[in-house]
Structure 1
Amino acid sequence: MAGARWSSRTGFVLATVGAAVGLGNIWRFSAVVGQNGGGAYLVPYLLAAVICAVPMLVLELAIGRRLRTDVVSAFRSVDTSYTALGWLVLGGVLLILSYYLVLTGWVLGFFVSWGAGSETTFATFTDGWFPVASFVVATAVTGAVVSRGVRGGIERMATVVMPTVFVLLVALALYAATLAEWGQAAAFLFTPRFSVLTDLGLWSAAFGQVFFSMSVGQGVMLTYGSYVDEGTDLLESSALITVADVAAAIVAGLVIFPIVFSFGLEPTLGTELAFTTLPTAFATMPFGRVVAVAFFGLLFFAALSSSVALLEVGVAAAENTTSLSRPRATLVLTAGVFVAGVPSALSYSPVRLAVAGRPVLDLIDESVGVFALPVSALLLVSVFVWVADFEDVRGELGRLYWLVQYLIPAVLVAVVAARAAGVARPAWRLLVENTRPGALGVGVAAAALLVFAAVGRWLGERLADPPRR
């Protein structure tokens, strides 16, 4: 990692946009909009993007550029007593990645199946071992990209993948505009029902979606910021990343909702739309196979760019805290994430692996997926704003500094409280209807994060060079 830099501002912006634009924009955004009143959801969502996403992006990028290091070493640089918090943040990132790769494998599997002429549905897909095989391939591809380094792997991938994602999005949106109920879909997406804005769950969902979608609070942007040149305007770049992220989400809505309304589907079905109901529509619509291949290809490329960003957080930390080279660090981390993801992959396979009647993927989602991100974001703000208070970081934020000092911590506490109370939905719920995390979910979240952090710290100590000063 030492000395690694983006080759250009364009490469940096495309890589960070790639980290931000993922399944959260294209799949989850439309699901959350459908479940939260359509256009009414855009009001808190856009507000959250402006007052939370932009300042948090600047904060993480500025910390990364100032310290030129990974998330674990960044916490340690403030005080050695905070090192454990860095490992905790990293543990959450890798656990999220472990089941995010399962989802990435699913969209890859659907892309391949529809491309081969098989009109796959979720039921037939999960009856065989193809989901597990797709998870293996998605994990291997992610590891291969990261192993090639910042410029040769991550940036090179982003310069190909991100333009492809936006071209596919626009092409699908143009096709969707030809469908019968495009007007109804646009009205649903853009006409707010102000009466529902008093619903706290709506606000919690919107703010939670922004943090998830923008990849802030996970150390991703801190890591990517460590590769940024000194002359790059971080506020301008953060605004551009936010605009691209929001635009991708809204255009995705203009792809999905016209299909939903034109083929009599329910906009409130949630994330099962992507794998259960949309394939049914693809099978009956004109040029349905082409649309399906483009849609699942779009999902895969977006998911891959985010998976690469999450893995890079761990690889950068491993490089800095151990004697491992990048290829070896990537191999170790990829293998560890794969092992952690196997139970989630098996939960939607012929094994039907479950705990207390719940698929393992759903259980991890309703625990780690619900709490890891807002908690890690709160840790980042607490340590690097309230404790460290770097003068140059304050200068980068300017008048926005008070947002990360006061407003964003309050928002994060509220999001955590809302999720603990069961007000907000987990990210990728498929089959389980109960939305309360409950004691089991909270316990799994805490135990999983601590175990992953402890294993990572132990591995770091076993492989480390003599302590650095």
Structure 2
Amino acid sequence: MSGIFRTIRAKLSTPAKKNEDGRDQWPSRTAFLLASVGGAIGQGNIIRFPSQVFNNIGLQWFLPYLIAIFLLAIPALILEVSIGQAYRGGAVAAYNNTHHRMRGTGLAAMFVSSVVVVYFAIILVWIMTYFRHSFTSPLPWTDNINDFYNNQVLRQADPIPGTFSNGDPSGSVTSFTSYPDLGMVAETVGWSAFTWFCVWLCMFNGVGQSGRAAYVTMGLPIVMTIILLGRCCSLENAGRGIKMYFAEWHSEKLADGQIWQTACGQVFFSTGAGFGYYIAYASYNTKWANAVQDAVILVCSNCTFETIAAFAVFGVVGYLDINPANTPRLGAFEIGFLTYPAAIVAMPGANFWAVFFFLTLMLLGISSTFPMLDVIVTGIMDKTGTRIPRPVVATTAVVVAFLISLMYCTRFGYYLLDGVDRWINNLALVFVVWSELSLSTTIYRWRDVYGQVGVPAYALWNAGYFLGQILGVTVGHVVSPAAGAGAGFGAFFAFTIPAMLIGRTPDAEAPGFFDRSGLTRKLYFLAFYSGNQLRRDLNVIVGTGNNWNIPVFWAPMIRYISSPILFIVYSFAYPEFWTLRNDPVYVFGFILAHFCLVAVVLSLMTPRFFDVFVPNHRLDEGIKTYAPNVTEGIMEAEHADRAESGEVEVSSQEEGEKKGVRA
């Protein structure tokens, strides 16, 4: 049997190249970029993004959208790509290297990917159901698209709604929503097995296989999207929809917080930050690759693709003569499964365009699915090394994912998917990225900070930073946004001013302006040192030669702008739960999402509890010795030079005392 498996493996792929450290390596930079951007670019770019724009129609949409790209997406991806490449590991190993108390953050990212990849594959099943019926003439949804979608694609049994006392969600729950039919849908199970087989083909043998697959799963859909773009924009009255998209301005909408929240959510979810696959994939780059440039390319490629692809959708919108005035708000799936199919029916050569459209969606979906599963496989391979061959790990992961996905292949699977997706996206994913940005700039090399200013000052400053965000959003929801802002800033200053007063005066230098006095040096070490030192240490590796450097404003941005914005977005999910607490699927998704919060908090308190997820030889890599202002990579290089020359090695503590005090 093993001989047959090796023969199949040899026929389907070639082994990945090896890096200097023995880790698998991408066959080319293009393969890395295509596979990585494929994780972000999926059917959501063609169907979710246009629905968000339609609901907030007008050119003013792009103001919050572009702001979110530069304040959230690019800074987050610079962090993920840089630590993956520099620390040579998946999410858990990379964040362990950042700080051993961030292991839970890496595990939370893996958890998000493992949950999303299972139900994401079911959306591909619905696409394949449409694809199968696209060969029937006339198209079977010609007379009633809603009936076909509900009864032939989803095949969901109607639930019995739950109730509240007095019919008001503010009252108590009198009965929970029930789902009378829990049976399996045979066709859904079959297409699910086919989908997971396609995923397995794309990633079972490592990045060499994934790199080759990306040329098909991303390259072909790009060409197909361009063709669809031309066809849809040439439809009768297509210009009517395109004008709504790109030639109208409604400045009054900018005063509504909804458009800002929606734009931030769209950018955040479509770029793929927080899933861990950028970290995993970057770890297979050469150690000295241009990580910052790659991160910018990935974000810009994703956002450019969805912005251009939306022209096709709005060509269809104009053709069907729909607009926000005569159409209810569009849901995430409606454009792909209702609007597009309705337009295709009226096109000449409808069957051809139906096959073409759903094949494009399927390929884009596959390109997003296997990177998420690779997050789990990379984490397992980091832990086990070469003891278990990668194809065995990948095959096991695919089989397990398929078995778990069977719960979404039932007559209530759509409702379960919606219940899990809502909270994993709105709660878990946002919290993971908030944790990445805020913790990496708080606890990275924290020994240097409290060694310079003292533990009480360090504790007070960070208590103000975190409690200010918590108190601000709480008061903002209960009272008013203005009151929340006042409470948040008030709490921050209430803690930070005493921290500045009781902190010891650092004896190490601070850069530029901050070195003018003891007070400004305290401000630098409390407010900016961890993030700035992370930037400096990463730049030793990712910013070498002609590579782009992580800019100096990056660390303050992710700590004091990006993180608070994400925490505000995170807080919006909780009030919604109160109105859905009588539905078991939403309760299940809500509880599931909080596993991420538990992992992050528990790891901060007891990092040794997470040793089982970290490679044994890397357990202590996240414990940094006291060496203020000493750049980590340079320090390691100097130690290597000493060892080669035969000199007696100086400890990191001594090196820090000699060179870091007045670096």
Which TM class, normalised by the smaller chain length?
Answer: 0.7 to 0.9
Q: For 2:27, what is the secondary structure of its paired residue?
A: coil
CA distance in structure 2 between the partners assigned to 1:444 and 1:42 by the alignment: 31
The answer on 1:7 being equivalent to 2:161 is: no
CA distance in structure 2 between the partners assigned to 1:43 and 1:61 by the alignment: 26
Selected match of 1:122 from 137, 149, 158: 149
The corresponding residue for 2:595 is 450
Selected match of 2:346 from 262, 284, 302: 284
The corresponding residue for 1:414 is 568
Displacement of 1:384 in angstroms is 2.7
CA distance in structure 2 between the partners assigned to 1:100 and 1:106 by the alignment: 10
Return the letter of the residue paired with 2:353. V
Q: In 2 relative to 1, CA 419–202 (structure 1 residues): closer, same or farther, beyond 3 Å?
A: farther
Displacement of 1:452 in angstroms is 12
CA distance in structure 2 between the partners assigned to 1:332 and 1:207 by the alignment: 36
**Higher helix proportion (structure 1 or 2):** 1
How do residues 215-226 of structure 1 correspond to structure 2 at under 5 angstroms? Answer: 215-226=272-283
The answer on 1:302 being equivalent to 2:364 is: yes
Native 8 Å contact 2:87 2:283 kept in 1: yes
The corresponding residue for 1:20 is 40
Q: After the TM superposition, which of the residue ranges 305-314 and 31-40 deviates more from structure 2?
A: 31-40
Return the letter of the residue paired with 1:300. M
Return the letter of the residue paired with 1:215. G
CA distance in structure 2 between the partners assigned to 1:222 and 1:71 by the alignment: 6
CA distance in structure 2 between the partners assigned to 1:24 and 1:277 by the alignment: 14
The answer on 1:240 being equivalent to 2:297 is: yes
Return the letter of the residue paired with 2:537. D
Native 8 Å contact 2:81 2:291 kept in 1: yes
Q: What 5-or-longer segments of structure 2 have no aligned partner?
A: 1-17, 142-147, 156-184, 445-530, 544-548, 604-609, 620-663
Return the letter of the residue paired with 2:412. R
Selected match of 1:188 from 244, 267, 290: 244
Selected match of 1:340 from 391, 404, 408: 404
> Which aligned runs of 4 or more in structure 1 are off by greater than 6 angstroms?
451-454, 460-467
Selected match of 1:392 from 509, 513, 537: 537
Q: In 2 relative to 1, CA 237–465 (structure 1 residues): closer, same or farther, beyond 3 Å?
A: closer
Q: Deviations over 1:390-447 (max 9, x none)?
A: 233366421333222221101110110123234xxxxxxxxxxx99665864663333
How do residues 292-371 of structure 1 correspond to structure 2 at under 5 angstroms? Answer: 292-322=354-384, 323-346=387-410, 351-353=411-413, 359-371=415-427
Native 8 Å contact 2:93 2:615 kept in 1: no
How do residues 429-444 of structure 1 correspond to structure 2 at under 5 angstroms? Answer: 438=581, 441=586, 444=589
Return the letter of the residue paired with 2:337. F
Displacement of 1:29 in angstroms is 0.4
Native 8 Å contact 1:91 1:449 kept in 2: no
Q: For 1:125, what is the secondary structure of its paired residue?
A: helix
Displacement of 1:129 in angstroms is 3.4
The corresponding residue for 1:274 is 336
Q: Deviations over 1:285-305 (max 9, x none)?
A: 222222222221111111111
Q: In 2 relative to 1, CA 436–221 (structure 1 residues): closer, same or farther, beyond 3 Å?
A: farther
How do residues 94-133 of structure 1 correspond to structure 2 at under 5 angstroms? Answer: 94-115=114-135, 117=137, 118-120=139-141, 121-123=148-150, 124-127=152-155, 129-133=186-190
Native 8 Å contact 1:119 1:279 kept in 2: no
Q: After the TM superposition, which of the residue ranges 188-197 and 61-70 deviates more from structure 2?
A: 188-197
Q: Deviations over 1:171-229 (max 9, x none)?
A: 11111121122221111111231111122121111111111111112211111111122
The corresponding residue for 1:148 is 205
CA distance in structure 1 between the partners assigned to 2:294 and 2:579 by the alignment: 37
The corresponding residue for 1:91 is 111
Q: After the TM superposition, which of the residue ranges 253-262 and 322-331 deviates more from structure 2?
A: 322-331
The corresponding residue for 1:405 is 559
What RMSD over aligned residues (CA atoms) do the two structures have, in Å?
Answer: 2.9
Higher RCO (CA 8 Å, separation ≥ 6 residues): 1
Q: What 5-or-longer segments of structure 1 have no aligned partner?
A: 423-433
CA distance in structure 2 between the partners assigned to 1:135 and 1:266 by the alignment: 35
Return the letter of the residue paired with 2:555. Y
Q: In 2 relative to 1, CA 345–41 (structure 1 residues): closer, same or farther, beyond 3 Å?
A: farther
Q: For 2:441, what is the secondary structure of its paired residue?
A: helix
Q: For 1:285, what is the secondary structure of its paired residue?
A: coil
Q: After the TM superposition, which of the residue ranges 397-406 and 442-451 deviates more from structure 2?
A: 442-451
Q: For 1:180, what is the secondary structure of its paired residue?
A: coil
Q: After the TM superposition, which of the residue ranges 128-137 and 362-371 deviates more from structure 2?
A: 128-137
CA distance in structure 2 between the partners assigned to 1:95 and 1:170 by the alignment: 32
Q: In 2 relative to 1, CA 181–28 (structure 1 residues): closer, same or farther, beyond 3 Å?
A: same
Displacement of 1:146 in angstroms is 1.5
Q: In 2 relative to 1, CA 392–112 (structure 1 residues): closer, same or farther, beyond 3 Å?
A: farther
Q: For 1:421, what is the secondary structure of its paired residue?
A: helix
Q: After the TM superposition, which of the residue ranges 261-270 and 132-141 deviates more from structure 2?
A: 261-270
Q: For 2:25, what is the secondary structure of its paired residue?
A: coil
CA distance in structure 2 between the partners assigned to 1:181 and 1:49 by the alignment: 32
Q: After the TM superposition, which of the residue ranges 190-199 and 75-84 deviates more from structure 2?
A: 75-84
Displacement of 1:34 in angstroms is 1.5
CA distance in structure 2 between the partners assigned to 1:144 and 1:116 by the alignment: 28
TM-score of the superposed pair, with normalisation by structure 2: 0.62
Native 8 Å contact 1:22 1:302 kept in 2: yes
Q: For 1:148, what is the secondary structure of its paired residue?
A: coil
CA distance in structure 1 between the partners assigned to 2:119 and 2:426 by the alignment: 13
Q: In 2 relative to 1, CA 76–231 (structure 1 residues): closer, same or farther, beyond 3 Å?
A: closer
Native 8 Å contact 2:431 2:570 kept in 1: yes
Return the letter of the residue paired with 1:269. L
Return the letter of the residue paired with 1:418. F
Q: In 2 relative to 1, CA 410–448 (structure 1 residues): closer, same or farther, beyond 3 Å?
A: closer
TM-score of the superposed pair, with normalisation by structure 1: 0.86
The count of aligned residue pairs is: 445
Q: For 2:107, what is the secondary structure of its paired residue?
A: helix
CA distance in structure 2 between the partners assigned to 1:55 and 1:180 by the alignment: 42
Q: Deviations over 1:69-105 (max 9, x none)?
A: 0111223334444333322221121101111111122
Q: For 1:227, what is the secondary structure of its paired residue?
A: coil
Q: In 2 relative to 1, CA 263–223 (structure 1 residues): closer, same or farther, beyond 3 Å?
A: same
Return the letter of the residue paired with 1:411. I
Native 8 Å contact 1:102 1:345 kept in 2: yes
Q: After the TM superposition, which of the residue ranges 263-272 and 163-172 deviates more from structure 2?
A: 263-272
Q: In 2 relative to 1, CA 343–288 (structure 1 residues): closer, same or farther, beyond 3 Å?
A: same
Displacement of 1:279 in angstroms is 1.6
Q: Deviations over 1:20-69 (max 9, x none)?
A: 21122111101111222343322211221223222222111101011000
